[in-house]
Amino acid sequence: LPRALSTRSHFAFWKAFFDDLGIAARLGTADTRRSVELGAAHSGPDFCLPLKAAVGQTVDLLRGETGAPVFLPFMLTDEPSPGLSQSRFCPYVETLPSLVQAALGHNGFDLSRLVSPMIDFRRPDEENARSIASALTPVLKVGWKDVSRALARGREARRRREEALAASGQRALEGLRRKGEAAVVIIGHPYSALDEELNKGVPRTIAQAGLAVVPMEGLSFDPSRLRGELQNLFWASGPRLLSAV
């Protein structure tokens, strides 16, 4: 899996999913600077920096000697939240496999190694399971019911991870309150805010100045805090960003 974009927030999901199917899931390189350089060399100037990193991650994985398949799904929507009308991903995330194929198709890469099912978490598990089972056919013969079970395992793993992060953040904030100390919450997309290269070391700089730093993931996501037009934001990330504020 490329270590970029939605994988940053969904790796716990996909790790549990593939574990359930008996497939070893591995992330791409942690060297984001190298990924950005590779991505810039193989993509257009209109690509944002996180997208360049995703393209570079894919280039690096396709150049790997193992010949392992690269899981690069079309991520259309995230899990819906109560009271919110939309949960779509950024268009670049939604169309990443097509963008990668267009960027790399004439550069000698074996694009048959890409496994790119259509994922729409608003739809019933059976629909996503059939899409994934079909895309996995060159790698693993698996029935959609087994994939549906694995999706449930992945969803539970993601829920546990988010709850653990929120609990850890709450403990940290409560400790700071007791000591009368201030903290800075880093609000942003996980694929940029939590990456040392893409965040340009801002969290580290704040910490070195003597302030505690808490990532947005350390706060519980509470969609009930949003009212009116804020319940109709198009992007799945928007409500999470505003809930943290």
| Residue 203 scores a pLDDT above 90 | yes
Name the pLDDT band for 212 (thresholds 50, 70, 90). Answer: very high
> 197, 51 in Cβ contact below 8 A?
no
Average pLDDT over residues 212-237: 87
Average pLDDT of the residues of the chain: 90
Q: Taking Cα atoms as reference points, which of 11, 64, 55 lies closest to residue 37?
A: 55
> 186, 202 in Cβ contact below 8 A?
yes
Query: Any idea how long the chain is?
Result: 245
Chain segment 112-155, per-residue pLDDT in tens: 999 999 999 999 999 999 999 999 998 888 999 999 999 999 99
Give Cα 219 to chain centroid, integer Å.
18
Name the pLDDT band for 74 (thresholds 50, 70, 90). Answer: very high
pLDDT at 138: 86
pLDDT at 225: 86
What sign does the dihedral 164-71-237-231 (CA atoms) show? negative
| Residue 31 scores a pLDDT above 80 | yes
Average pLDDT over residues 72-80: 93
Name the pLDDT band for 85 (thresholds 50, 70, 90). Answer: confident
| Residue 45 scores a pLDDT above 80 | no
Average pLDDT over residues 47-64: 91
List the beta bridge partners of residue 119: 75
Helix (H) or strand (E) holding 70: strand 70-71
Q: Taking Cα atoms as reference points, which of 245, 197, 190, 189 lies closest to residue 221?
A: 245
User: Which pair of tokens denotes residue 215?
Assistant: 């990532």
Percent of the chain with pLDDT over 90: 59
> 32, 198 in Cβ contact below 8 A?
yes
Rounded to whole angstroms, the Cα distance separating 114 from 92 reads 17
DSSP character string of 179-225: HT--EEEE-S-HHHHT-TTTTTTHHHHHHHTT-EEEEGGGS---GGG
Rounded to whole angstroms, the Cα distance separating 76 from 1 reads 17
- Tell the residue number behind the tokens 């995330």, with chain if given: 93
- Tell the residue number behind the tokens 């029935």, with chain if given: 143
- Distance (Å) of CA 173 to CA 159, 162, 168, 212, 222: 21, 16, 9, 9, 17
> 198, 15 in Cβ contact below 8 A?
no
Rounded to whole angstroms, the Cα distance separating 153 from 41 reads 38
Rounded to whole angstroms, the Cα distance separating 242 from 245 reads 5
